[in-house]
Structures are given as structure tokens and as C-alpha cells.
Amino acid sequence: MTIERVPTRLTGATSHGHLLDLIRTTGGMTRQQLLASTGMSRATLYERLEALLRRNLIYEAESMEATGGRRSRKIRFEDRGRVVLAIALGQTHATVTVSDINGRQLRSRTVQHRINAPAPAVLQPLIRIGTELLGTGTGETLTGIGVSVPAPVDAGTGHVAHATTIPEWEPDAVLTSVSSQWQVPIVVENDARAGALGECTTDSETTVYVKVATGIGCGIVVDGTILRGSHGAAGDIGHIHVATDGPLCRCGRRGCLATFSSGSSLIDRLSSQGLTSLDEIARAAEQGHPDVKAQLLSAADVLGGALAATVTTVNPNRLVLGGRIGTIPYFAEHVRSRVLQDVVERIAEGLVVIAGATGDHAAIDGLTQLVTRKVFAPDAIDTLIIDYALN
Ligand SMILES: [Zn+2]
């Protein structure tokens, strides 16, 4: 799919921030190309480029294309050495990763933990790991930090809200802990939403991402933007009511989707067979354990039925299954066939249903993108330039 970003940006490319955005999203342009595409006067353009150069946000690179017998220098976004620290928290493990700002993951470590412990006991070890991972890089600048949690997050404040998974945490526990260690921009996001963004393959697609791990989370990206809903609860599908007299859910009601299809519900039903973790269930599925396969089939069937409604409402290009259970091929395949069986042809047409990246790759990738978007947003750059000029 072609992303037609350049033409839509041209008329807005008047401020320093918009100019940088144009340079960053196009991969670099010559001064002539910038003049032609923005319609700015030479004097204004050069003044803005000078300000961006002084702030170390752009650099001039020799272009390989010679024009009219002489080489023209391309103005590029200064991404060299800039890194993002991402901390993806799951209910039973966490991954800490240093990536460059184009999303290439450089150094990473995954550790086991229990998210229902007090916030300092969960967060301080991860902050130590982050410090160690950052310490091993040379010539790097920390651009910002992204943290994902398996709980609803208020995107405006970065506060963790109404979490049944981590009820003891103060809403600002993540922000407070991380900002006391690093004075850089911080993004806190729900894990499935970060994962949804990370699984998008273009800037303009519509993706539904469902993380099936200990719990069930869902992130929806419409035309490249995370769908949040009127008060941030969009995609909280784990508590869709799917059976009148089903098992009791952690939310206090009966028959929620999570009680049929989450990893913790599978553990409840398989622990009598000695399977007490998601890894053990995944390994047993690979080995063809018949009871495990039967439970996964039934969990996938219920989930697929619920997702058929979601998919019909949103009409995505891609439905991606993530998390330790969601990425089991047997499980993902059965979710896929149930969804495709339950939706009309117009919705199924062109819909790709697949298992996504394993581990926390999607969430890490999404967090890195969110940090980059925040730090290099046109408004943020304009403010930075003004502050720089005043000081
Ligand atoms: Zn529930």
C-alpha cells in the first residue's frame, strides 16, 4: 500500500515543527524540494532550517542523486544515536528494551514478576534493568520512555485507571517512579493498544489487535490512530457478556469473555493436569496434548464469536492475535476460522487474521512509536524552538 503522506503535509509545512515533520516523514529532502513543496520564501525556510540545525534536529547529507551536474545536499532528520527505552509490563513478566527511534530493537531483557505486587517492588527492578541497558550503549541520547501496562490508561494524564489487575497501585505510580529516574518525556499506554500500533504495517491502516495472555486486551487502530472512546475504554472486550450463567469473573459479573478465553481461565481448567503457566500450556499444545487442544479450541471458538462482532463494527484490514496464548498457531487458526465463518462476505473480504509477533515485540514497537510521535510532534518542536530562542 502506498502512503500518500507528502501531498497532505505540504500546506501545513509552515512552522518549524511542521517542517521537521515533513523532513522526518519523507526521509529527507533537498532545499530546492522543500522550497517547491512548502511554498515558503527562501528566507523563511533557511531561518527555520537554521533553527532546527542549531537544535540538532536535522543534518545535511550528501545526496547520491546528482542534479544538473552538481550534487545536492539532502536535509535529513537527525535520528543518529537517538534511542527510546520501552518497558512492557505483563501480568507475569516484563520486557525492557532499548530501540533506536526507527524501531530497531537494540538491547532487551525479559524477567518474571507478579504485577499484583506493590508498585515499587514491580517497577524498581525494571528501572534498574533500564539503567543497565542504557549504560551499555555508546554515543546514545535517550529521547523518551514508553511504559505499557495490562490495565486501562488515561492517555491524557498517563494515569493507570480502574485496574482490576493492579488494584493497589496509585494511578500515577508508573509516571512517578520513571520520572524520578529519568527527566525525559514519558508515555504510559495500555499494553494491547501499544501492541495494536506496533502490529500496524503502514501509517494508514485499520487494525484490531487482541492480546490473549493471562487476561484479554484489545487495541484498535483506525487509519493509524489509536481508538480510545469517550472515556478511554474502547476495546475492553474481556468483559463482553457471552453466557447467561457462566463462571464468575474478576469484575464481579458472570459469563464474561475472559472467563472462557483468557489464559488464566485456561489455567483454572488445566491446573488439575499439572499445567499451571501459559508457557506450559503453549508447550503442551505444541506437543499435541489432547485436553489442552480441546480447551484451546473451545476458548478460541468463544473468542472468535465475540471478535466477529468487533470486526463487523470496525471493518479492519487486519485482525492480529498476540500474547502467549493468542500466538499459539492452533489457537490463532481456530479464532480465524470462527471469525471468518461468523461475518458476512463484505467484512471477510480482504480481512487478514493472523498470529502476530511473539513476546513483547509489538508492545515495544508501539511504545517506541508513541514516544517518537510525542517528542517530535509539530507542536512539541515549535515549543522547543521557542524555549531555545528565549534562553
Ligand atoms: Zn468480567
Q: What cell does 249 get? A: 469473573
Q: How far is the CA of 40 from the centre of ligand 1 (A)?
A: 55
> What integer is the mean pLDDT of 328-349?
96
Residue 9 is predicted with a pLDDT of: 37
Q: How far is the CA of 241 from the centre of ligand 1 (A)?
A: 8
Q: How far is the CA of 205 from the centre of ligand 1 (A)?
A: 30
Q: How far is the CA of 228 from the centre of ligand 1 (A)?
A: 20
Q: pLDDT tens for residues 169-210?
A: 999 999 999 999 999 999 999 999 999 999 998 888 899 999
Percent of the chain beyond pLDDT 90?
79
Q: How far is the CA of 249 from the centre of ligand 1 (A)?
A: 5
Domain boundaries, the chain: 6-78, 82-191+368-375, 196-362
Q: Is 234 left (phi over 0), alpha (psi -120 to 50) or beta?
A: beta
Identify the CATH number of the domain defined by range 82-191+368-375: 3.30.420.40
Q: Is the pLDDT of residue 83 over 60?
A: yes
Residue 164 is predicted with a pLDDT of: 76
Residue 354 CA to residue 335 CA, distance in Å, equals: 9
pTM: 0.90
Q: How far is the CA of 164 from the centre of ligand 1 (A)?
A: 10
User: Do 82-191+368-375 and 196-362 come out as alike in CATH topology?
Assistant: yes
CA 384, 367, 282 angle in degrees (round to 5)? 175
Residue 70 is predicted with a pLDDT of: 61
Q: How far is the CA of 216 from the centre of ligand 1 (A)?
A: 10
> What integer is the mean pLDDT of 11-27?
84
Q: How far is the CA of 161 from the centre of ligand 1 (A)?
A: 16
Q: How far is the CA of 302 from the centre of ligand 1 (A)?
A: 15
Q: How far is the CA of 209 from the centre of ligand 1 (A)?
A: 19
Q: pLDDT tens for residues 271-324?
A: 999 999 999 999 999 999 999 999 999 999 999 999 999 999 999 999 999 999
Q: How far is the CA of 30 from the centre of ligand 1 (A)?
A: 55
Mean pLDDT score of the chain: 91
Residue 64 is predicted with a pLDDT of: 59
Q: Is the pLDDT of residue 7 over 70?
A: no
Residue 1 is predicted with a pLDDT of: 41
Q: How far is the CA of 166 from the centre of ligand 1 (A)?
A: 15
Q: How far is the CA of 245 from the centre of ligand 1 (A)?
A: 13
> What integer is the mean pLDDT of 200-228?
93
Q: How far is the CA of 169 from the centre of ligand 1 (A)?
A: 20
> What integer is the mean pLDDT of 312-338?
97
Q: pLDDT tens for residues 111-146?
A: 999 998 999 999 999 999 999 999 999 999 999 999
Cα–Cα distances (Å) from 299 to 266, 303, 336, in that order, read: 8, 6, 12
In the 3-class helix/strand/coil scheme, how is the chain assigned residue by residue?
CCCCCHHHHHCCCCCHHHHHHHHHHHCCEEHHHHHHHHCCCHHHHHHHHHHHHHCCCEEEEEEEEEECCEEEEEEEECCCCEEEEEEEECCCEEEEEEEECCCCEEEEEEEECCCCCCHHHHHHHHHHHHHHHHHCCCCCEEEEEEEEECCCEECCCCEECCCCCCCCCCCCHHHHHHHHHCCCCEEEEEHHHHHHHHHCCCCCCCEEEEEECCCEEEEEEECCEECCCCCCCCCCHHHCECCCCCCECCCCCECECHHHHCHHHHHHHHHHHCCCCHHHHHHHHHCCCHHHHHHHHHHHHHHHHHHHHHHHHHCCCEEEEEHHHHCCHHHHHHHHHHHHHHCCHHHHCCCEEEECCCCCHHHHHHHHHHHHHHHCCHHHHHHHHHHHHHC
Residue 66 is predicted with a pLDDT of: 55
Q: How far is the CA of 94 from the centre of ligand 1 (A)?
A: 24
Residue 232 is predicted with a pLDDT of: 80
Q: Binning pLDDT at 50, 70 and 90, where does residue 10 land?
A: very low
What is the architecture, at CATH level 2, of domain 6-78? Orthogonal Bundle (1.10)
Q: How far is the CA of 323 from the centre of ligand 1 (A)?
A: 19
Q: Binning pLDDT at 50, 70 and 90, where does residue 157 land?
A: very high
Residue 308 CA to residue 329 CA, distance in Å, equals: 19
Q: pLDDT tens for residues 229-271?
A: 887 888 989 999 999 888 999 889 999 999 999 999 999 999 9
Residue 92 CA to residue 116 CA, distance in Å, equals: 9
> Which residues are CB-neighbours of 119 under 8 A, at least 6 positions away?
166, 168, 169, 170, 173, 174, 177
* HSE-up of residue 64 (Cα within 13 Å, Cβ side): 0
Residue 68 is predicted with a pLDDT of: 58
Residue 250 CA to residue 102 CA, distance in Å, equals: 39
Neighbouring CB atoms inside 10 A of 72's CB total: 15
Q: How far is the CA of 265 from the centre of ligand 1 (A)?
A: 12
Q: pLDDT tens for residues 28-76?
A: 999 999 999 899 999 999 999 999 999 999 999 876 555 555 667 899 9
Q: How far is the CA of 239 from the centre of ligand 1 (A)?
A: 4
> Which residues are CB-neighbours of 57 under 8 A, at least 6 positions away?
20, 77, 78, 381
Q: Binning pLDDT at 50, 70 and 90, where does residue 14 land?
A: confident
Q: How far is the CA of 361 from the centre of ligand 1 (A)?
A: 27
What is the architecture, at CATH level 2, of domain 196-362? 2-Layer Sandwich (3.30)
Residue 229 is predicted with a pLDDT of: 87
Q: How far is the CA of 158 from the centre of ligand 1 (A)?
A: 24
Q: How far is the CA of 248 from the centre of ligand 1 (A)?
A: 8
323 in Cβ contact with 93 (< 8 Å)? no
Q: How far is the CA of 93 from the centre of ligand 1 (A)?
A: 22
